[in-house]
Amino acid sequence: MVKARKIVLVRHFKGEPRPEDFRIEEEDLPPLKDGQILTEAVYFSVDPFQRILGSGEKYGQKVGDTMIGAQVARIVESRAAGFPVGRHVVAYWGWRDRTVADVGPEVPPPDVMSPPMLVPDLGDLPLSLSLGVLGMPGISAYFPLLEVCQPKAGEVVVVSGAAGAVGSIVGQIALIKGCTVIGFAGSESKVKWLKDDLGFHHVFNYKTTDVSTALKQAAPDGVDVYFDNVAGDMSTKVMSHMRYRGRITVIGGISQYNEIESQKLVTLPFTFLANQLRIEGCSYSRWHDRWDEGISPLTQWVREGKLKYRETVTDGFVNTPKAFIGMLRGENFGKAVVKL
């Protein structure tokens, strides 16, 4: 009998998640049936959306459920055509080290998540990138920036959460497209990384700098594109600096995730009317069917050295909650993952 370890939710998060909100359990896995694979997780992803889903049943997770999340896993046994032993899959099986699952085109995808996907041959690139720049965060940056915001060379692009998995990719794609890039991040070391290593034109620590003052200095003629990862007061301030016909995509709102129940609708700044701005919320799942169309240029840019990636890797299954809490506190540069 094969055993699996899993991290389950002991209680819904109240405010910041705590280590006591999780517990490790074991379960026996059933023998494989036709159409199924047995996998061993290699990396877990820790992502901001897990903070929302763990907040209450209406957001997706019940007490006692395995904590939801993506992983990249090696196939160790297979009775499914097209999923051979030795290949890797990315799947939303949650924080569990071994999994028996149905795979293949006839398996319906979980609600808003991607169905299990085979990882293409990454050559000498790390497997963990399939959870980062060459995975969901990469898609979340690529399509909403290029298709929804349509930045043009010479335009000013602002990105919040700029040193994170999505934000660091957004800024670099905007640089590739010839834009002036302004980032906001939460520490001096992140500011330094974005400026010195990634080449952002202006970067500010939003914890110590007034956003309006920063934008008056860095974008005196206004902002054309705002890629919003964080929401809250900071985003309201950025929005009041938008230029005529500016475009905003709301991809995340991490500053609000600890108070999701008490979030209020605020009035949009008058500049929305005066400058005829456009704002659009985006989920990466909109581009499921065009995954390769996004991953292919991202892979090429990574190989050419035009798109740099950074990962914050935590070692060990048992440290997954710690990695998750640390990511929410801003301890990560680039993508936060756990190596099993």
212: its two tokens: 């309006």
E strand intervals along 139-222: 156-160, 180-185, 202-205
254 interacts with ligand NAP by CB under 6 A: yes
Which phi and psi (to 5°) does residue 339 adopt?
-95, 125
Interface mask toward ligand NAP for 135-154; x: CB under 6 A: --x--x--------------
- Cβ-closest position to ligand NAP: 164
CB burial of residue 52 (10 Å; 0-12, 13-18, 19+): buried
187 interacts with ligand NAP by CB under 6 A: yes
164 interacts with ligand NAP by CB under 6 A: yes
Nearer to ligand NAP, 98 or 201 (CB): 201
Kind of pairing between the strands at 156-160 and 180-185: parallel
60 interacts with ligand NAP by CB under 6 A: no
Q: From the list 104, 125, 126, 255, which residue makes contact with ligand NAP (rule: CB under 6 A)?
A: 255
**Closest distance to ligand NAP from the beta carbon of 234 (Å):** 7
**Closest distance to ligand NAP from the beta carbon of 140 (Å):** 4
**Closest distance to ligand NAP from the beta carbon of 169 (Å):** 8
E strand intervals along the chain: 2-9, 22-29, 36-45, 71-78, 88-91, 98-102, 117-118, 156-160, 180-185, 202-205, 223-228, 242-250, 278-281, 311-315, 335-339
**Closest distance to ligand NAP from the beta carbon of 178 (Å):** 23
Say if residues 105 and 81 touch (Cβ distance below 8 Å).
no
49 interacts with ligand NAP by CB under 6 A: yes
**Closest distance to ligand NAP from the beta carbon of 241 (Å):** 17
Say if residues 325 and 155 touch (Cβ distance below 8 Å).
no
CB burial of residue 43 (10 Å; 0-12, 13-18, 19+): buried
Longest pairwise C-alpha distance within the chain: 66
167 interacts with ligand NAP by CB under 6 A: yes
48 interacts with ligand NAP by CB under 6 A: yes
E strand intervals along 172-220: 180-185, 202-205
**Closest distance to ligand NAP from the beta carbon of 3 (Å):** 31
Interface mask toward ligand NAP for 282-311; x: CB under 6 A: xxx---------------------------
Segment interacting with ligand NAP (CB under 6 A) among 8-16, 60-68, 117-125, 160-168? 160-168
214 interacts with ligand NAP by CB under 6 A: no
Give the residue carrying structure tokens 């990560």.
332
Give the span between the Cα atoms of 30 and 283, in whole angstroms.
34
Q: Which residues bind ligand NAP (CB under 6 A)?
A: 47-49, 137, 140, 161, 163-167, 185-187, 190, 229-230, 251-255, 282-284, 327-328, 330, 332, 336
